[in-house]
Structure 1
Amino acid sequence: MLPAPTPDSLQGPPWLAGLNPAQRDAVTTTEGPVLILAGAGTGKTKALTARLAHILFNRLAWPSQVLAVTFTNKAAREMRHRTELLLGSMAEGLPWLGTFHALSAKMLRRHAGLVGLNPQFTILDTDDQLRLLKQVVTEAGLDEKRWPAKQLASLIDRWKNRGLLPEQVPPGESFAFADGAKGGGAALYARYQEQLVQLNAADFGDLLLHMLTIFARHPDVLADYRERFRYVMVDEYQDTNQAQYQWLKALVGDRRNIACVGDDDQSIYSWRGAEVANILRFEADFPGAKLIRLEENYRSTPHILAAANHLIAHNNGRLGKSLFTQHSTGEKVAVTGVWDGPEEARSVGDEAERLGREGVSLNDMAILVRAQFQTRLFEDRFIAIGLPYRIVGGFRFYERAEIRDALAYLRLVQSPDDALAFERIVNVPKRGLGDKAMGTLHAAARRLNLPLSRAAAHVAEGDDLTPAARRALRGFLTDVARWRDAADTLNHAELAELVLEESGYVAMWQADKSTEADGRLDNLKELVRAMGDYPSLTAFLEHVSLVMDNEAAADGEKITIMTLHAAKGLEFDHVFLPGWEEGVFPSQRALDEGGTAALEEERRLAYVGITRARVRAHVLHAANRQVYGQWTAALPSRFVAELGEAHVDERSTLSGGPSLWRAALAGGDPFADMQRGTGRGPGWDRARSGQTGSGWQAAKQGFSQSGRDFGPRSAAPPREARVSAISLAPMPGFKRGARVFHAKFGEGTVVHVDGNKLEIDFPAAGRKRVLDSFVSLKN
């Protein structure tokens, strides 16, 4: 029996000081199920910590009787630290405060014998898991190249995230892997689980899955935990997967004292198994639950919050809330339409430098991209102007593994004696030339005193390797020689396409079913596109070397570049949001799926991006994206039009045409309007239905250049469903030095011609980039 709280303990406790009414309600409502909808920047961590302190100080439970679940160790440490600051020694202990996996591992070590393990079981890392799965695949007589262990690992992880044992896997899903094998993927999953038990090991998915199994088969164990935990508290509830949901629901006993904190508008991890439905059905799972909304934002300006509210209101799958702030001032969200990707990077760089001159630290600026391939243009631009930057949550563009592999292929084509490049890619994709074969090649190189690739030619004709390895090595050397010959007739971008296609490197990533595979393919496409900006392969590789060598000082201010997913939970004064175009954001995959779920998650991601900004959000969209040397028109993202006109400061560097996103709002085809000067079309209706330009669609789905397919392509949509691509053919007479007239800027001189794009020096307005159809030649 807990001692009754003293009167002094109930009189104005310090943790209630400074809380707004909704936060106070979340803290003091301790009994029964509670869902705390905590919007971005509304002080949810403060409220959650205060709630824990309130329970402990008032002796509603001992520290060992509170189950407090977070998603990261960092969040757990912060909650523990804050609670100890409030309560001192009273908060010591808290043995059940931690992540889902940490707490499940603690439980499992107590009950390991119930699932055939002993308490000293090993938790496998990813590498060990893959090695074991390769053994399982080989044991089943399957070709590991056709049925990669990495793909099976991804499947098993998804099944475990859903709480599925091998016998519970639906047959249709089971035969998505190893469809010719008896039992399919589920049988391999079962064999994998048997092997884990023999090794006295578990993977991360097992930590929850084993406890779910124990709860289901041993009611006494579950009853003990239900009796133990008087209060259950969960942070970031919107990010829970099905297994975590089942685990939590099982542990909530008859007291029903569960408090979940989350934001349905920030559920952005479905690709990791998270299900927004878990938070949306909370009131159905726990009838009579109290719903508390934390809506007062302490981070952003009124315009940022209003724009975010307008945007997220277009989602149907939400419980609903509206952020507000006590601040009365602040700039509108800046929406800037630019000509193309390079101008987008220049615009952001210029604005960052301007803000720096005004005293804003680079540390308070961030560029949040939808896909990693977008970072390349910003990295190149910042290096060119000397603007320090950091990549968070990933590698710099040219440091990524797939880019290093592709560059190694190109280096070897250019320089036969590049031993480091040879060694990196001789067995990527796998050709049966593993460590043993490489040892033989190195020994031959030392013996013959030749570079590795030249020594390989001798080994390929001898008998030091197995017949299969010799054939693979000869085939690889023949390919490299053919590509070297092709370099005399193809430009370097075409050569890169040929090498990556014929080497099987692209096919390797297309066959990979992991969540990062699509991003790696996008990065390879961006690499090929980037090469077109340089006159030769030598010049491009030299540029890459300079970029890789240009390491900013460890100390000092840097602008941050990261993906929108990685930015969740962070905040910056100025946030730049580039690439808000149909097919980029929302992504082409979300548009191709055709349903509302994927599109609504993309919109939640946009909401997360905007609400990272404290002072100003800068949204950018480009009228064109260069895809392997061809310019394709792009529609502004539908999300731009959903921000709310009253809270947006619209800008455009495009000359001679209407606002792209305002034309989209009106239902017109902005790019056709730009070319004709007048006219309306079904542009916005087309965008809302998920149809985008055939050029961008082809780019997102596979390479297409010089008659070769670099990956799968779908048929182009019918003519009426296409965005009008701007022709590259310049009108006759427009050349450097030509005198022209523009209705708005007057007379000027053409200084650069790029297809139908003209850069013109206007004495009265400076240099502008315009379409040739908006100017006329002067006699």
Structure 2
Amino acid sequence: RITHIMVDEYQDTNVAQYLWLRLLTGTERNLCCVGDDDQSIYGWRGAEVGNILKFESDFPGAAIVRLEENYRSTGHILAAASGIIAHNESRLGKTLYTSADAGEKLRVNGYWDGADEARAVSADIEAMHADGQDLSQIAVLVRAGFQTREFEERFIAIGLPYRVVGARFYERAEIRDAIAYLRLIAQPADDLAFERIINTPKRGLGTASIQALHMQARASDKPLLAAAIDLSQSDELRPAARNALGEFCQNIRRWRDSVGSMHHTDLAKIVLDESGYTGMWMADKSPEAEGRLENLTELVNAMQDFDSLQGFLEHISLVMDGDRESETGEVTLMTLHAAKGLEFDTVFLPGWEEGIFPSQRTIDENGAVGLEEERRLAYVGITRARKTVQLSFAGSRRIHGQWQSSIPSRFVQELPPETVIEDIAQGLGGAIPFGRAAQVQMSGDSSFGGSGETRGGYGPGWRRMAERRAGGIDDGFRASNNKTEFALGERVFHQKFGMGNITHIDGDKLEIAFDKAGSKKVVAGFVSKP
């Protein structure tokens, strides 16, 4: 008979575990639960924060002991995390303190785009390492798995040792599948690529059909794709299998014929769509499916940086062959969810933008409850650091192949001003009003699935950008073009720099010759027509 029960990580229990615990405790009520409601971040997999919030009412008379002394982080880090989490209404509340000194203030950095952010973070890490900091004590924590790609490519380019908790971007199953399609289109004799995708998604080709295909290839001394073409034109297979194989071969030939006449990113979207591969993941109801679709979109984004499909595939070969162990430690790259329970001397927190963090999908699906869990995730991210935290956001990112303007996360605005040092790229919207409750809509249409429109708090530059982000999105797998409402030579107004003429346009990034401030690069969302 069980007479005493102890539960750890009580904030992560689900409904079934809660009900089972109530039955086990019975009338003896010898129960000890340990947990932190501010670190309940697994609602998406069934955890119910309400279990810990109602502990006192469920077990009246229980002694509540608040463990508020923190032995990990400096004063500024604790104050910053506490300042954000204080905006949650559903919490028990506590006042963290430490015997350590205040330490360094958090740095909040604003960059032009995601590539600038990855370059700057990499440069900062290299400088820290040159000053003697152990790379294994540095972590880059992102909200979603697709965000690792730009950092991985930059780390590889400069030879910075790193490890990814979970699979590296180009080692993820869905990325390998997509690349296999592209490899087979570029090189029809690539048997490894053929074998990976011939039945992905399922095409009704059973073991007997695959064996017959291999026998045909060996007998004719041909690559598998050529053998498949021959086999689909014979009577060796059942009609259903023969038709499925023939359709696959025809698709590969049609896509291959489009290589010279279609932009390679548009071709990739069409291949992933028409092959049924994206449809397979859209129909998948597992928690991982959305992340896999985001990764496929990020793969297409990566292709934008290359002039041709062949150039991209050559780059992938170098990236996938570039893995090597390091004797000097490795930077850790992981999601915020995977970082819970870990600690590092230095933590970089990139991508703090509305729609990415907090996740617009989480807010759309769960409303205020989802937003509070996202805020708890921010709290967890900041408190992974012992000594140093750098948060960052970008003024624009490539979303579904198009440059889209971004605004800083509401969590950035919620940071207490006395805990941060701000370093925003010139012309990128001006100062952020720290220490205020950001008033941002929680639903609506935008490039991330929500308007992100501010009703107060941010300055006029950020407000204009938020307004311009309103509008629908495509599904990420249809061809699109990048248009701007501005034209070369057009006269525009900037809140800080005044009037000027547009001299260069790159997506939503403009170069403007201002009458008094000279030539500046600004994001289109921050200028207006006079």
TM over 0.5: yes
Secondary structure at 2:155's aligned position in 1? helix
Match of 1:732 among 486, 489, 508: 489
How far off is 1:473 after superposition?
Answer: 0.4
User: In the alignment, which residue of structure 2 is the partner of 1:551?
Assistant: 323
| Residue 402 (1) aligns with residue 160 (2) | no
Which of 588, 594, 599 matches 2:371? 599
How far apart, CA to CA, are the structure 2 residues paired with 1:584 and 1:478? 39
Give, in whole Å, the separation in 2 of the partners of 1:634 and 1:248: 45
For residue 472 of structure 1, report the CA deviation from its aligned partner: 0.4
Query: Is the aligned partner of 1:323 residue 2:96?
Result: yes
Residues 692, 610 of structure 1: CA spacing in aligned structure 2 closer, same or farther, 3 A cutoff?
farther
Aligned residues of 1:581 and 1:634 also touching (Cα < 8 A)? yes
Cα shift at 1:758: 5.7
Matched, 1:432 2:182: no
The residue number in structure 1 matching 2:125 is: 352
2:271 to 472, 496, 499: 499
Deviations 1:371-422 (A, max 9, x none): 0000000001111111111001x11101100000000111111111111111
Q: Which residue of structure 2 aligns with residue 300 of structure 1? A: 73
Preserved CA contact (<8 Å) 1:429 1:504: yes
Distance 1:505-1:656 versus aligned 2 partners, 3 A rule: closer
- In structure 1, distance between residues paired with 2:72 and 2:373: 23
Cα distance between partner residues in 2 of 1:693 and 1:440: 57
After the TM superposition, which residues 105-504 of structure 1 pair with which residues of structure 2 at under 5 Å, given as runs?
A: 225=1, 229-392=2-165, 394-504=166-276
RMSD: 3.4
Does structure 2 conserve the Cα–Cα contact (< 8 Å) formed by 1:698 and 1:704? no
Return the structure number with greater helix share: 1
Q: Specify which of 480, 490, 502 is matched with residue 706 of structure 1.
A: 480
Q: Distance in 2 between matches of 1:772 and 1:695?
A: 14
How far apart, in 2, do the equivalents of 1:245 and 1:682 lie?
40
CA distance in 1 between counterparts of 2:299 and 2:391 reads 25
Deviation at 1:599, TM superposition (A): 0.7
Residue 650 of structure 1 aligns to which amino acid in structure 2?
E
Structure 1 pair 696/631, CA: closer, same or farther in 2 (3 Å)? farther
CA contact (8 A) 1:296 1:324 kept: yes
TM-score by length of 2: 0.87
Cα distance in 1 for residues equivalent to 2:86 and 2:76: 15
CA distance 1:280–1:774, shift in 2 (3 Å): closer
Measured against aligned partners, the alpha-carbon deviations of 1:47-80 in whole angstroms (never above 9, x if no partner) come to xxxxxxxxxxxxxxxxxxxxxxxxxxxxxxxxxx
Question: Which protein shows a greater Rg?
Answer: 1
- Tell me, in whole angstroms, the C-alpha distance in 1 between the residues paired with 2:223 and 2:377: 50
TM-score normalised by the chain length of structure 1: 0.60
Give a deviation string over 1:647-703, Cα, whole Å, max 9, x none.
11111123374125669979799xxxxxxxxxx973659999xx986578626x544
Q: Distance in 2 between matches of 1:768 and 1:545?
A: 38
Q: Which residue of 2 aligns with 1:92?
A: none
Match of 1:194 in 2: none
Q: What's the counterpart of residue 512 of structure 1?
A: 284
8 Å contact kept, 2:141–2:347: yes
**SS of corresponding position for 2:268:** helix
Contact 1:457/1:474 (<8 A) preserved: yes
Q: CA 1:647–1:622 in 2, change beyond 3 Å: closer, same or farther? A: same
CA-CA distance at 1:594 after TM superposition: 5.8
Q: Which residue of 1 aligns with 2:500?
A: none
Q: In the alignment, is the contact (CA less than 8 A) between 2:395 and 2:428 conserved in 1?
A: no
Structure 1 residue 455, shift from structure 2 partner: 0.5
Alpha carbons of 1:290 and 1:697: their partners in 2 closer, same or farther (altered >3 Å)? farther
Q: Please give the alpha-carbon distance, in whole angstroms, between the structure 2 residues aligned to 1:684 and 1:625.
A: 23
Query: How far is the alpha carbon of 1:300 from its aligned partner?
Result: 0.4
Whether the 8 Å contact between 1:406 and 1:500 is mirrored in structure 2 is: yes
Instruction: Sort the Cα spacing of 1:287 and 1:352 in 2 relative to 1 into closer, same or farther, 3 A.
Output: same
Q: 2:450 aligns to what? A: none
Kindly tell me: are residues 681 and 567 of structure 1, through their superposed partners in 2, closer, same or farther at Cα, counting changes over 3 Å? closer
Aligned mates of 1:756, 1:698 — CA distance in 2: 16
- What is the distance in 2 between the residues matched to 1:666 and 1:603? 12
CA contact (8 A) 1:369 1:563 kept: yes
Instruction: Report the alpha carbon displacement of residue 645 of structure 1 after superposing the two structures with TM.
Output: 1.4
Q: C-alpha separation between the residues in 2 aligned to 1:427 and 1:262?
A: 46
1:582 aligns to what? 354
Counterpart secondary structure, 2:34: strand
Change (3 A) 1:385 1:485: same
Rate the CA distance shift 1:309–1:664 in 2: closer, same or farther, 3 A: closer
The 2-side partners of 1:367 and 1:272 are apart by 24
Aligned residues: 505
Partners of 1:583 and 1:591 within 8 A in 2:
no
- The structural deviation recorded for 1:247 is 2.3
Instruction: Indicate if the aligned counterparts of 1:588 and 1:697 stay in contact, CA closer than 8 A.
Output: no
Deviations 1:405-451 (A, max 9, x none): 00011111111111111111011110011332211111110011111
Q: Which secondary structure does the structure 2 equivalent of 1:293 belong to?
A: coil
Distance 1:558 1:364, change over 3 A: same
> How far has the Cα of 1:240 moved from its partner?
0.8
Partners of 1:553 and 1:538 in 2: CA distance? 28
SS in 2 for 1:705: coil
Q: Which amino acid aligns with 2:75?
A: P
The letter for the 2-side match of 1:474 is G
Q: Does the Cα contact within 8 Å between 2:398 and 2:404 map onto a contact in 1?
A: yes
Structure 1 residues 554 and 353 mapped into 2: Cα distance closer, same or farther (>3 Å)? closer
Mapped partners of 2:341, 2:483: distance in 1? 40
Residues 596, 657 of structure 1: CA spacing in aligned structure 2 closer, same or farther, 3 A cutoff?
closer
Counterparts in 2 of 1:297 and 1:726: CA distance versus 1, 3 Å: farther
Asked if 1 retains the 8 angstrom alpha-carbon contact of 2:405 and 2:469, the reply is no
Equivalence for 1:192: none
- For the 8 Å contact 2:38–2:379, the answer to whether it is kept is yes
Partner of 2:506: 754
Contact 1:729 1:756 in 2 (8 A): no
Shift of 1:232: 1.0
Q: Deviations over 1:731-757 (max 9, x none)?
A: 3399xxxxxxxx98xxxxx9x863463
**What are the ranges of 5 or more consecutive residues in structure 1 without an aligned counterpart?**
1-224, 670-679, 708-724, 735-742, 745-749
Alignment counterpart, residue 311 of structure 2, candidates 539, 546, 563: 539
Out of 553, 557, 560, the residue aligned to residue 332 of structure 2 is 560
Q: Is the 2:358–2:409 Cα contact (8 Å) retained in structure 1?
A: yes
Contact 2:201 2:277 in 1 (8 A): yes
Shift in alpha-carbon separation, 1:640–1:449, aligned structure 2, 3 A: same
Determine if contact 1:375/1:561 at 8 Å carries over to the other structure: yes
Structure 1 CA distance for aligned equivalents of residues 90 and 338 of structure 2:
23
